[in-house]
Amino acid sequence: MTIDEKYMRRALQLARQSGGHASPNPMVGAVVEHEGKIIGEGFHRCCGKAHAEVNAIASVHDQSLLPESTIYVTLEPCSHYGKTPPCAKLLIEKGIKSVVVGVLDPFEKVSGRGVAMLREAGVEVEVGVLESECRELNKRFFTAHTTGIPWVLLKWAQSADGYLANEDGSVRFSTPLTMSLMHRERSLVDAIVVGAGTVKIDNPSLTVRHWSGSQPLRVVLDRNLSLPPKCHLLKDGGKTLIYNEKKEGVEGNIEWVKLDTREPKSWLHDLYSRDITSVMVEGGANVLQQMLDAGAWNELRIEVAPIILGKGIKAPVVDLSGANRQEIDGNVIIYCN
């Protein structure tokens, strides 16, 4: 391991601490090094708050050391005014002599501009240290800003013989432990998507309850406006977005958007325009199959319980060759990307 890799790995450790809180911004960590010692470090704790570089600089007790210091940052420092001032400008003002960057930012307002601003000011900049690891850390962010649609996780639970539910939809496959892990996955995405049929059968809340984290936007694909008026998604006060083909408008925390619900790319593009960079699609069977048929997914998470139903609602059929499998609490969790 080189010296640069050593400090970048520490920056990556810091960045992971913001999982579930930074989005739609990326997870970013930063380390300030002076004469072989770390004198400051920080990470982006929450969207809208100070970025990793700002927190790292602020943590340095003796600011007079900064002009002789190097800062390691997992993602290119920003160069534009958003909810916070440009980090590249701060580094220039503080007289930082050297900046080591893991990977360039794919966001069009930044991409390459932060590095250019630093170099024009005479700052030595190195790019590409642990680049693959830094890119993987924010794969959802990178996917969204390079494709124009959010990163998509398809998630479902099924019986060992391939059914999503029995005929009345009442069977439960998850254990308390696997349920908690699923809620952790919810806390890491910006939005959860279901079809109207799932709402009618399960009356879900689509909230994070068994894990600590941010609450995602609830999204329903309801082509013909068929949701029961008393369902949780319309009555509990949470923010809900309903894609349909009949109505536009906003009432309280409920918004209706008119578009083609049968074409995944149409509502995915709309979600991206709302700063949604990652979504979890939780069902039902028709919605999941539409996503699979359209190739509109990046990762699958399938929970298989040791239960035989014999009949019911069939789970989607997908090629799982090469997928990773992990047994948790008697169930098998399959990951595929």
Q: Which residues are catalytic?
A: 53
d(C-alpha 60, C-alpha 41), whole Å = 8
Sheet bearing 331-336, strands edge to edge: 249-251, 254-258, 240-244, 217-221, 191-195, 278-283, 151-159, 299-305, 331-336, 324-328
The two tokens of residue 218 are 């609830």
Q: How far apart are the first and last CA of the chain?
A: 29
d(C-alpha 280, C-alpha 190), whole Å = 8
3-state SS, residue 265: helix
> In sequence order, which residues have a C-beta less than 8 Å from that of residue 85 and are 6 or more positions away?
none
Asked if 296 contacts 268 with a C-beta cutoff of 8 angstroms, the reply is yes
The two tokens of residue 120 are 């024009």
Only one residue has tokens 């932060």, namely 114
* CA distances to 4, 136, 225 from 245, in Å: 53, 37, 8
d(C-alpha 165, C-alpha 171), whole Å = 6
